[in-house]
Amino acid sequence: MICTDIIAPVGELVRRHAENRPQKLAFQDAHSSVTYGELAASTANLAGHLQDAGIDAGDCVAVFLPNSVAWVESCFAIVRAGAICVPISYDATLQEVLYRLQDAGCKAIVTTDERAALVASLAGEHPALKTIILVSRGETRGDGLRFDDLRSTPARSVPRDAEAMDAPSFIIYTSGTTGKAKGVLLSQHSMLWVAAACWAPIAGLSESDHVLSPLPLFHSYALNLTVLSILAVGASEYIVEKFSTTETMELLQSGRFTIFPGVPTMFHYLLEAARSNPGARFPGLRLCLSAGAIMPAPVNKEFEERFGVMLLDGYGITETSTMVTLNWQHGGRVLGSCGLPVPGLSTRVIDPLTGLDVETGAEGELIVRGPNLMKGYHGKPNETEQAIRNGWYHTGDLARSDKCGFLTITGRLKEVIIRGGQNIAPAEVEEAVCAFPAVLDCAVVGAPHRLLGEVPVVFVVPREGMDVVVDDLIVHCRERLSAYKIPGAVHVVQEIPRTGSGKIIRYKLKETLAED
């Protein structure tokens, strides 16, 4: 079941496809494209120039770019140089960029002309940053090496292309939804093991697929599926710089694409767009994939019925190189669950107080063990020791497992709302609220209460042209939830703050409560 032949060093995979399919499209964006033959040459040149600039094996190099072909080429080149790739969100603030550069000790960065001044301003606070490579986006400006020159010109050095795959090759920063972001150390082996155990055998990803991806590449879900796994199987991909409902609808209707990965909010918005375009169909699309956040069962069902395309929901976390579970294309599914554990991976649901396994169907903390486990948190041995105990990674996520092994994520340990001693999972309340016709999106957090400790409150985004009548929403919730789970207040907002993977940034919502 596990496709072991695709677990190979990035350099070997690049050369393999350059020999077997040199003219085949590998990656494309709105402005550029690269074939597998060109990818082998450009990444070899870039890797050699990094080595010529003094980047040693094990050094960290940041990628601070928007979604693009240049992002992918930079990532592969860094790994081929034997260095560690440190992706940074292109929308990160100055302080967020500085924190990651300092925490990882980056010696080089690949960014754009328009971010050149920002990066230059950080040099004084991070003197280890000696090499800046600039990708042109329009007018050429800024002092640094030019990406286009380096990718097209052979270097003095040849890529190290080390065959050892267990050393760290990526530092992926957690989303920081509950606190300071941590750098997760991942290897080529752990990442490509997921491609071999999950995406290839379960999703059927192969060289015949043409993937459309709007996922943010700095996130582990996208890096694993839409960068490394595309390379592993020799597929083709069109990279969208940033998700747009209108653009995505147009591209999917073109008939060019076979697989579309997204996060739940993207499928929400595609369904919303289809309401005003009843004839919209996605010819050629055989499969959609969702991960990064909890997928409500009604959305999953409505999407499949509306577009006639299977939508497989899964669960992944950065610390396990992404995927832990995924629903399968064949056999039974439990909508609302995130599927079965990936073959070769062990999962348990335990009582977080005793460490003992809970009964089937009972809620507990999900813990995971397998070949895709992280090396640890960069520079944080205490946090690593707390997270990985006796070989098991403690996810901090609450889950239930049914008698067939299907897992359902019910929330986060730290996000559980305790109202007068009774536990409330925000996800359960959110699923009920999202079923209200006027609600497009929502999020639930705990608000302080003088007598009860805290109570659930909900933030809602109305559907276009509709009003959320609070009294009607509360009646709707009473029909679906126990009395103690009914939101104590309803706040209408324009958007729900989310990470690139679709996770709700709850502390930002709590901050707005504190300001009221």
What are the boundaries of each domain within the chain? 4-199, 243-412, 418-515
At 207, which amino acid appears?
Answer: E
Beta bridge partners of 364: 399
Higher pLDDT, 177 or 421: 421
pLDDT for 425 equals 80
Q: Assign 510 a pLDDT band (cuts: 50, 70, 90).
A: confident
Is residue 467 over pLDDT 90? yes
pLDDT for 188 equals 98
Is residue 1 over pLDDT 80? no
Give mean pLDDT, residues 211-217.
96
End-to-end CA distance of the chain: 54
In CATH terms, 4-199 corresponds, of 3.40.50.980, 1.25.50.10, 3.40.630.30, 1.10.287.10, to 3.40.50.980
Q: Of 24-33, 89-98, 174-183, 473-482, which has the strongest mean pLDDT?
A: 24-33
pTM, to two decimals: 0.86
Give mean pLDDT, residues 358-369.
95
pLDDT for 176 equals 57
pLDDT for 141 equals 63
Secondary structure of 95-126 in HEC code, one letter for each residue: HHHHHHHHHHCCCEEEEEHHHHHHHHHHCCCC
Higher pLDDT, 139 or 225: 225
H helices present in 236-291, as ranges: 245-253, 264-275
166: helix, strand or coil: coil
Neighbour-count burial for 439-465, b at 16+ CB within 10 Å, e otherwise: bbbbbbbbbeeeebebbbbbbbbbbee
pLDDT for 433 equals 95
Is residue 161 over pLDDT 90? yes
28: helix, strand or coil: strand
Q: How many C-beta atoms lie closer than 10 Å to residue 113's C-beta?
A: 18
pLDDT for 221 equals 95
Secondary structure of 222-249 in HEC code, one letter for each residue: HHHHHHHHHHHHCCEEEECCCCCHHHHH
Give mean pLDDT, residues 471-498.
92
CA dist., res. 235 & res. 416, Å (int): 41
**Per CATH, is 418-515 categorized as 3.30.300.30?**
yes
pLDDT in tens, 403-462: 999 999 887 777 878 787 677 888 889 989 999 999 999 999 999 887 777 899 999 999
At 255, which amino acid appears?
Answer: G
Is residue 280 over pLDDT 60? yes
Q: Assign 296 a pLDDT band (cuts: 50, 70, 90).
A: confident
Q: Assign 142 a pLDDT band (cuts: 50, 70, 90).
A: low
Q: How high is the mean pLDDT of the chain?
A: 92
Q: Assign 139 a pLDDT band (cuts: 50, 70, 90).
A: low
CA dist., res. 448 & res. 102, Å (int): 36
Q: Of 143-147, 317-321, 504-508, which has the strongest mean pLDDT?
A: 317-321
The region that residue 49 occupies, defined by phi over 0 for left and psi between -120 and 50 for alpha, beta otherwise, is alpha
pLDDT in tens, 421-431: 677 888 889 98
CA dist., res. 215 & res. 229, Å (int): 14
At 19, which amino acid appears?
Answer: E
**Could you check whether 4-199 and 243-412 share the same CATH topology?**
yes
pLDDT for 228 equals 98
Q: Assign 258 a pLDDT band (cuts: 50, 70, 90).
A: very high
pLDDT for 108 equals 97
What tokens appear for 515 in the block? 């300001």
Q: Find the angle CA(457)-CA(462)-CA(467) to the nearest 5 degrees.
A: 100
Give mean pLDDT, residues 202-210.
97
| CA dihedral for 22, 28, 34, 36, sign (positive or negative) | negative
Name the DSSP letter for residue 335.
B
Give mean pLDDT, residues 12-41.
98
CB-count exposure of residue 241 (10 Å: 0-12, 13-18, 19+): middle
Q: Which CATH class is domain 243-412?
A: alpha beta
Look-up: residue for tokens 């997270």? Answer: 387
Asked if 18 contacts 10 with a C-beta cutoff of 8 angstroms, the reply is no
Higher pLDDT, 188 or 330: 188
pLDDT for 212 equals 98
Q: What are phi and psi of 268, to 5 degrees?
A: -55, -50
Give mean pLDDT, residues 42-62.
97
Is residue 134 over pLDDT 80? yes
Is residue 75 over pLDDT 90? yes
At 256, which amino acid appears?
Answer: R
Give mean pLDDT, residues 71-99.
95
pLDDT for 179 equals 54
CA dist., res. 388 & res. 370, Å (int): 12
